[in-house]
């Protein structure tokens, strides 16, 4: 976390110094975000392994965990994409990215909706 924070502060300082050169500043910030996101992805793998172990102990279906991680991934990618678009002054593009993220989240959650519908159907039968 310290190195990630230091990288962010360093890029912020450099971005302020490059105030007049917006293109380089934007590319530099997007590269920094990409590096930080790639680093976070490796941390998420460790968290997933621990969560899978807990799911096995609780004897729960692993499909729920898959949906949760897909949803988290969609949320993070959508947020980063929309923020990058806003930083570039493209608010309409940011709104489109957010809309697609919401639709992707609904699509990822469909197995859960099917499971709930199956439970309701079994209760009514």
pTM reported for the whole predicted model? 0.68
The two three-digit tokens of residue 80, written as one number: 């980063």
CA distance 71 to 82: 16
* pLDDT, tens only, 30-42: 888 888 888 877 7
Q: State mean pLDDT over 34-63.
A: 79
Does 103 or 88 have the greater pLDDT score? Answer: 103
Q: State mean pLDDT over 23-36.
A: 82
CA distance 72 to 35: 18
3 state SS of 90: coil
Q: How far is CA 84 from CA 23, 24, 31, 89, 102, in A?
A: 13, 14, 11, 9, 17
What average pLDDT is seen over the chain? 84
Q: State mean pLDDT over 95-104.
A: 94
Domain positions in the chain: 1-43, 61-125
């Amino acid at each position: 976390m310290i190195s990630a924070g230091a990288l962010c502060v360093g890029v912020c300082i450099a971005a302020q110094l490059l105030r007049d050169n917006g293109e380089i500043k934007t590319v530099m910030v997007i590269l920094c975000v990409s590096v930080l996101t790639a680093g976070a992805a490796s941390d998420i793998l460790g968290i997933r392994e621990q969560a899978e172990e807990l799911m096995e102990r609780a004897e729960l279906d692993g499909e729920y965990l898959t949906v949760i991680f897909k949803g988290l991934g969609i949320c993070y990618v959508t947020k980063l994409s929309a923020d990058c678009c806003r930083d570039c002054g493209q608010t309409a593009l940011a709104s489109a990215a957010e809309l697609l993220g919401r639709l992707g989240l609904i699509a990822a959650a469909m197995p859960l909706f099917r499971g709930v519908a199956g439970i309701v159907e079994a209760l009514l039968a």
